[in-house]
Amino acid sequence: MKKPIIAVKNLHKHFTVYKKQPGLLGSIRSLWKRKYETVAAVDGISFSINQGEVVGFIGQNGAGKTTTLKMLSGLLYPTSGEISVLGHNPWDRESVFQKQFSLVLGQKNQLWWDLPAMETFLLNQAIYDIPEKRFRKTLNKLVDLLDVADVVQVQVRKLSLGQRMKCELIAALLHNPKVLFLDEPTIGLDVVMQKTLRDFIAEYNKEFKATVILTSHYMDDVKELCERVIMIDHGKKIYDGLLSNIISKYARNKTLSVIFSKPVAKKSLEKFGTIKDWSESAATLLVPRKDATKQAAKLLESLPVIDLNIEEAPLEAIIREVFGNKAKDA
Amino acid sequence: MALSVWSVLFVNQETLFSYNRAEMISYIFVAALLQGLILATSLHGLAQRVYSGEISSLLLKPMSLFSYLAIEEVADKARNVLATIIESGILLVLFQPQIVMPSSGALILFLLWTCGGVLLNFLFSLLFGTLGFWSPETWGPKFLFFIFLDFSAGKLFPLNILPVWLQTMLSFTPFPYLTFMQTQLFLDKVPVGDLLKHSFLILFWVALLALLNSLLWKRGFKSYAAQGQ
């Protein structure tokens, strides 16, 4: 059996949070009496990831995704549990380990604000001890792939968000990390730029056999890049498996989109499923997954149908439903 | 300003608080130089950088955070010293004061003690940096400390003008080694028999502060929340 590149066992991270009473009186009272609360940001998560896998971390805000990534990269000290990344305990922050991974936080940057991105690249070359020949080769390749040749000499603060994000990625990849932690890498970018970055990440994974953990609120990122997803809710893992299986596990309905050759009354559609949308010449129905084919055949038989489509529910809707149900259960 | 104040005080007197005019002027110049070299620091905002999570990007890199901060500090000091040399040079040319120069042996020891002072202040700055692990309120305690340092390190006036009991109390602290003792060595006011004792005391304070830093940073990293990053 292949030894996993990343192995996490029963990981916990608790934060102590100060609860302040509102107003001036609350502030004064807090001088001698304070209320603290322990928040379990990560609550007993376990998983393992093999080399070359691209895994999506899905969860609502505050679910514990970023906290997990920060523990995997050695920034945060776990309250309890075990982590092994590339055979190292990230918390030891050994140079040999740090030279093999990168953490990219979409909302923050490591680039020097007042200097051109090239200065950060050169600094990283020195810090990561990258030989000149390899540095130039990787840099030229990355600059080419991301099409930023004309901006690397411009002050970072004068770059657009998209250009900055591309330069961030270059800075993070110059040392050819074997493991990439990407936290919302496409946040705030337009759809064209999102697509460019997604293609780039896929290309990088393929070429370097890099292991990637990606968190994103954009389902397109997850759909395009990740075969496997880990869903986290309130610090707990609620799903770990193939993305395609989420749909069969959680999606209760399929969508039937029908176009009619003659006007059809709304009432005559009710027996086929839940009507989501209706006009005399077209309708959208929600049908239980297991009955979808049967109902589609009946529709074709009994009504003047000229076109019919059977679609899975959008991933966003399924995930919304999963988290919605979990919230109700809680 | 210090130059003008002491010049006025020396108008009708040869010596004051065991300093003659040339010694006092030398004190002012040496203290100014040491202020740029020892007391000025680029790490005033370190606690805030810790609290805001700004140090995260440094912690992820294969390098020592403290080496990085030390290099930042050295770069800042190089700039300060250059500015002080230019400023003092202009004053020296304008006023042409008499400056007392130490022997070459004393000058070497002076440089070593100055390095010790630089290290001590760096360790103090790191110590205040750890406040950021636990509290957003880092400015108050630091402000009080640096005000106290202005008086206790001999930045504003020589410590010999203080009452003896206060001088004795200060001698049990590391603060005189942040400017005052170096100026005394420069002015040949430290008895030869005490040189070794003071050298050991500097090493003792450096070791103690380094140990304290090691304990607090280790503890701090465990509570580090990498907020906002």
CA dihedral B83, B87, B92, B97 (to 10 degrees): -100
Cα–Cα dist A10/A40, whole Å: 13
Q: Could you tell me which chain A residue has the CA closest to the CA of B219?
A: A77
The H-assigned helical ranges of chain B are: 2-9, 21-34, 46-52, 56-59, 65-95, 104-129, 131-134, 139-152, 164-171, 180-186, 195-223
DSSP for B54-101, please give it. TTHHHHTSSS-HHHHHHHHHHHHHHHHHHHHHHHHHHHHHHH------
Q: A with B: how many residue pairs have Cβ under 8 Å apart?
A: 41
Asked if B226 and A75 come within 8 Å (Cβ–Cβ), the reply is yes
Residue A1, pLDDT > 60, answer no
Q: Could you tell me which chain A residue has the CA closest to the CA of B61?
A: A98
Parallel, antiparallel, or unpaired for β A305-312 and A253-260?
Answer: antiparallel
Q: Which helix (H) or strand (E) holds A223?
A: helix A219-225
Residues of A within 8 A of B226 (CB-CB) are 70, 75-76
Average of per-residue pLDDT across A101-105? 89
Query: Taken in order A57, A58, A59, A60, is the CA torsion positive or negative?
Result: positive
Residue A132, pLDDT > 60, answer yes
Residue A107, pLDDT > 70, answer no
Cα–Cα dist B161/B132, whole Å: 37
Q: How do the domains of chain B map onto residue ranges?
A: 20-223
How sure is the predictor about A254, in pLDDT bands with cuts at 50, 70 and 90?
A: confident
Hey, which residues 1-20 in chain A have their CB within 8 Å of chain B?
15
- B59 φ/ψ sector (left φ>0, alpha ψ -120 to 50, else beta): alpha
Identity of the residue numbered A85: V
Between the alpha carbon of residue B148 and those of residues A57, A199, A208, A220, B178, the distances in Å are: 51, 58, 57, 58, 12
HEC assignment per residue over A91-146? HHCCHHHHCCEEEEECCCCCCCCCCEHHHHHHHHHHHCCCCHHHHHHHHHHHHHHH
Residue A197 and residue A191 in contact, taking contact as beta carbons nearer than 8 Å: no
Residues of B within 8 A of A99 (CB-CB) are 62
Residue A130 and residue A176 in contact, taking contact as beta carbons nearer than 8 Å: no
Residue A193, pLDDT > 70, answer yes
Of A136, A115, A114, give the one whose Cα is nearest residue A125: A136
Half-sphere exposure of A267 (CA within 13 A, CB side): 0
Between the alpha carbon of residue B77 and those of residues A219, B3, B44, B129, the distances in Å are: 50, 23, 13, 18
Cα–Cα dist B50/B126, whole Å: 11
Residue A256 and residue A296 in contact, taking contact as beta carbons nearer than 8 Å: yes
- B46-80, pLDDT tens digit by residue? 998 999 888 998 999 999 999 999 999 999 888 88
Place of tokens 């059977």: A310
A112 in B contact zone (CB under 8 Å): no
Cα–Cα dist A14/B210, whole Å: 30
Higher confidence at residue B124 or residue A31? B124
Residue B85, pLDDT > 70, answer yes
Higher confidence at residue B95 or residue A262? A262
Residue B20, pLDDT > 80, answer no
- B92-129, pLDDT tens digit by residue? 788 777 777 888 888 899 999 999 999 999 999 999 99
Picking from B57, B59, B62, the nearest residue to A99 by CB comes out as B62
**How far out from the chain centre does Cα A6 lie?**
17
Q: Identify the burial level of B91 via C-beta atoms within 10 angstroms of its C-beta, where 0-12 means exposed, 13-18 middle and 19 or more buried.
A: middle
A72 in B contact zone (CB under 8 Å): no
As given in the structure block, the two tokens for residue B117 are 């002072």
Residues of B within 8 A of A108 (CB-CB) are 56-57, 228-229
Interface of B with A (CB under 8 A): 56-57, 59-63, 221-226, 228-229
Residues of A within 8 A of B59 (CB-CB) are 74-75, 93
pLDDT at B145: 85
- A51-73, pLDDT tens digit by residue? 999 999 988 888 889 899 999 99
Residues of A within 8 A of B57 (CB-CB) are 108, 110
Asked if B56 and A15 come within 8 Å (Cβ–Cβ), the reply is no
Cα–Cα dist A212/A227, whole Å: 11
Higher confidence at residue B33 or residue A329? B33
Name residues whose C-beta falls within 8 Å of residue A157's C-beta, 6 or more positions apart in sequence.
Answer: A113, A114
User: Which of A34, A39, A70, A107 to probe the B interface (max B CBs under 10 A)?
Assistant: A70
Question: CB B155: neighbour CB atoms within 10 A?
Answer: 20
- A289-323, pLDDT tens digit by residue? 888 889 899 988 888 999 988 887 777 777 777 77
User: Which of B52, B61, B218 to probe the A interface (max A CBs under 10 A)?
Assistant: B61
Q: Could you tell me which chain A residue has the CA closest to the CA of B224?
A: A76
- The chain-wide mean pLDDT, for chain A, equals 87
Asked if B62 and A105 come within 8 Å (Cβ–Cβ), the reply is no
How sure is the predictor about B1, in pLDDT bands with cuts at 50, 70 and 90?
A: low
The highest-confidence range among A51-65, A82-96, A249-263, by mean pLDDT, is: A82-96
Residues of B within 8 A of A110 (CB-CB) are 57
User: Which of B50, B51, B56, B60 to probe the A interface (max A CBs under 10 A)?
Assistant: B60
Q: Could you tell me which chain A residue has the CA closest to the CA of B59?
A: A75
Residue A81, pLDDT > 70, answer yes
Note the maximum CA span of chain A: 77
Asked if A75 and B61 come within 8 Å (Cβ–Cβ), the reply is no
Q: Could you tell me which chain B residue has the CA closest to the CA of A124?
A: B61
Picking from A77, A96, A103, the nearest residue to B60 by CB comes out as A103
pTM for the full model?
A: 0.81
Residues of B within 8 A of A74 (CB-CB) are 59-60
- The chain-wide mean pLDDT, for chain B, equals 86
Q: Could you tell me which chain B residue has the CA closest to the CA of A183?
A: B229
Q: Identify the burial level of B93 via C-beta atoms within 10 angstroms of its C-beta, where 0-12 means exposed, 13-18 middle and 19 or more buried.
A: exposed
Q: Identify the burial level of B114 via C-beta atoms within 10 angstroms of its C-beta, where 0-12 means exposed, 13-18 middle and 19 or more buried.
A: buried
Residues of A within 8 A of B63 (CB-CB) are 95, 127
pLDDT at A328: 56
